[in-house]
Amino acid sequence: MLLLAVPKKKRLLLLLKRLLLKRLLLHLLLKRLLHLLLKRLPLLLLKRLPRLLLKRLPRLL
């Protein structure tokens, strides 16, 4: 274990850095996923919207 040779404070800093990196990567991944979703969501909505409208139109009319 390389971490055991490192003093406690440095070890904590390394762990923090790793956590932050993981968080950053997750954040970027989520951002990308959201971006893709936002790109494709309008298409999905356009496909599904007519059905929803047809279901709700009788109520509205």
Task: Supply 7's token pair.
Answer: 């003093």
Has residue 8 got a pLDDT over 60?
Answer: yes
Has residue 1 got a pLDDT over 60?
Answer: no
Per-residue pLDDT at 48: 81
Distance separating the N- and C-terminal Cα atoms of the chain? 71
Residue 25: which of 17, 14, 35 has the closest Cα?
17
Contact 4, 14 (CB under 8 A): no
Over the stretch 17-56, which tens digit does the pLDDT of each residue have? 999 999 999 999 999 999 988 888 888 778 887 887 778 7
Asked whether the whole model's pTM tops 0.75, one would answer: no
The more confidently predicted of residues 26 and 57 is: 26
